[in-house]
């Protein structure tokens, strides 16, 4: 991927702008697209046409933002930006999971200057004696940096962008991550018809899409629920009004005041949550989470690093998680994901959905409800009327046939929504309206979506007629 050059030829004007503004912007640091544009317009207004607009953009990029990395931070299709050492290209990770080498290169000095800029913003010290850094950009993006003392090929920067419009269930359906039938089943499991929401763990290897699926399934939680999410790095992004995101805190320079996942989870239990979401379970917080599941906190959602349902259960039982065997059955569903190469492209897919069926000696047994068939490329249902459906029948009084009909109706709703370009906000609205029984028939839902599509078309036409104010790529 190329990032067109341009700012080098404006270096003299950038210096003159710096002189003209004196120290007015010395403490300004902006990284979000909206904030960057706002500062550019503000400086243009102050300098009254004395400088080329591109020179002002370069000044903001190079002096007030992240220099050559800024265009990538402003690109909504990118998730991560990675500097891996002097003389080596900057890499980007797009939303399709592809790692791409750009034609942007940073010198060791440029990399260290950016690290110091972020460290200063975070009131932290990074040098050869403390060569590791973990912090945030002003827009909330997470930054990890290392000095060359511990990364011999050069200092590194890894930026995990925050605030990007998240991938939705419709994206996952279009990508083939899950089928409409499986998604309808998980939708029913997440909301539990307001009687018995399921405790679900999403498992998989590195970069298998666990958090994306976690976020997408969380959109099925009813609007009136108080949701508390706990993460090491903020990635969950919900539309619910009563959502409280929480994030761990690393120790300070003296190694004190660390706030762990377990500490946050224990505190969360005192906050009267209706739903608990844990970004990734790694250690002792697993036992705390299962204590919550066993004491009336239904509808917990979490991810764990494991390659199969049985491996996940084994990890939960052993150190450092140490979940007591008697607590394990509170987990209703295990959704296993995998990252594969299909037709030359990276694809993330759900290859198994399982439930705990019993125990043999020290090993828990599972039933596979859905599985991926590599021969057909389809996600097929195996045992649809498993324990979770039987429990829903018991808690709601509905027959298995009535629950199957409800799943089928939701499957049709999902297939209908796939035909339209709906945002996370749109999907949230339709799901919540579905719960309120506003759409008694699929026809009325179709009319509502068609009306929204007409509005979107008008908005796009209006946007095309407005003059574009693009930012200069470096």
How far is residue 142's CA from residue 86's CA, in Å, rounded to a whole number?
A: 22
Q: Which of 159, 108, 150, 152 is nearest to 132 (CA)?
A: 150
Q: What does the domain layout of the chain look like in residue ranges?
A: 7-160, 169-438
pLDDT given for residue 454 in this prediction: 67
Its CATH architecture, for the domain 7-160, is 2-Layer Sandwich (3.30)
Question: Order of strands, edge to edge, in the sheet holding 99-105?
Answer: 99-105, 89-94, 78-83, 156-160, 142-146, 132-136
Q: What are the per-10-residue average pLDDT scores of the chain (474 residues)?
A: 61 90 88 90 87 90 94 91 96 87 96 95 89 89 94 96 84 94 97 96 92 96 97 90 93 82 96 96 96 95 95 95 96 94 82 92 90 89 85 95 92 89 88 78 68 63 50 41
Distances (CA, A) of 389 to 3, 56, 197, 293, 402: 52, 61, 11, 18, 11
Which residues 6+ apart lie within 8 Å of 104 measured at CB?
Answer: 3, 68, 69, 72, 89, 90, 474
Domains 7-160 and 169-438 share a fold: no
| pTM to 2 decimal places | 0.82
**354 neighbors 333 (Cβ within 8 angstroms):** yes
Cα torsion angle, 427, 432, 438, 443, sign = positive
CA 249 to chain centroid, in Å, comes to 19
pLDDT given for residue 374 in this prediction: 87
pLDDT given for residue 453 in this prediction: 63
CATH class of 169-438: alpha beta
DSSP string, 40-69: HHHHHHHHTT-S-HHHHHHHIIIIIS-GGG
**94 neighbors 182 (Cβ within 8 angstroms):** no
Q: Tell the residue number behind the tokens 């078309």, with chain if given.
A: 457
How far is residue 236's CA from residue 245's CA, in Å, rounded to a whole number?
A: 8
pLDDT given for residue 457 in this prediction: 63
How far is residue 365's CA from residue 334's CA, in Å, rounded to a whole number?
A: 12
């Amino acid at each position: 991927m190329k990032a067109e050059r341009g700012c080098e030829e404006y270096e003299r004007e950038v210096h003159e702008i710096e002189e003209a503004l004196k120290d007015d912007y010395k403490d300004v640091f902006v990284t979000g697209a909206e904030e960057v544009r706002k500062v550019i317009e503000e400086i243009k207004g102050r300098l009254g046409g004395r400088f080329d607009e591109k020179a002002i953009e370069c000044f903001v990029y190079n002096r007030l933002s992240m220099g050559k990395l800024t265009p990538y931070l402003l690109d909504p299709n990118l998730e991560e930006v990675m500097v891996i050492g002097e003389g080596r290209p900057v890499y980007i990770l797009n939303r399709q999971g592809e790692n791409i080498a750009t034609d942007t290169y940073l010198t060791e000095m440029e990399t260290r200057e950016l690290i110091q800029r972020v460290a200063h913003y975070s009131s932290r010290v990074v040098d050869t004696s403390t060569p590791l850094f973990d912090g945030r950009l002003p827009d909330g993006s997470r930054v990890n940096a290392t000095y060359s003392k511990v990364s011999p090929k050069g200092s590194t920067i890894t930026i995990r962008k925050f605030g990007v419009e998240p991938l939705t269930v419709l994206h996952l359906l279009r990508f083939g991550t899950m089928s409409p039938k499986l998604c309808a089943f998980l939708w029913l499991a997440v909301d539990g018809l307001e009687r018995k929401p399921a405790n679900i763990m999403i498992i998989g290897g590195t970069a298998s899409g666990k958090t994306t699926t976690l976020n997408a399934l969380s959109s099925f939680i009813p609007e009136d629920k108080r949701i508390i999410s706990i993460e090491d790095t903020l990635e969950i992004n919900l539309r619910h009004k009563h959502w409280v995101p929480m994030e761990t805190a690393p120790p300070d320079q003296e190694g004190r005041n660390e706030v762990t996942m377990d500490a946050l989870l224990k505190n969360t239990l005192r906050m009267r949550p209706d739903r608990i979401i844990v970004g990734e379970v790694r250690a002792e917080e697993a036992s705390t989470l299962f204590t919550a599941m066993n004491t009336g906190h239904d509808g917990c959602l979490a991810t764990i690093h494991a390659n199969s349902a049985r491996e996940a259960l084994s990890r939960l039982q052993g150190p450092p998680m140490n979940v007591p065997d008697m607590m394990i059955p509170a987990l209703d569903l295990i959704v296993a994901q995998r990252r594969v190469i299909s037709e030359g492209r990276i694809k993330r897919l759900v290859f198994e959905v399982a439930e705990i069926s019993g125990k043999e000696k020290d090993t828990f047994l599972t039933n596979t409800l859905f599985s991926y068939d590599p021969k057909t490329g389809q996600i097929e249902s195996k045992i649809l009327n498993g324990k979770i459906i039987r429990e829903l029948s018991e808690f709601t009084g509905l027959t298995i046939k009535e629950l199957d009909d409800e799943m089928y109706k939701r499957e049709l709703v999902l297939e209908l929504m796939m035909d339209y370009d709906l945002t996370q906000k749109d999907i949230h609205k339709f799901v919540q309206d579905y719960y309120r029984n506003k759409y008694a028939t699929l026809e009325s839902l179709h009319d509502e979506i068609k009306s929204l599509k007409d509005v979107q078309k008008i908005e796009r036409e209006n946007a095309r007629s407005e003059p574009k104010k693009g930012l200069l790529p470096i």
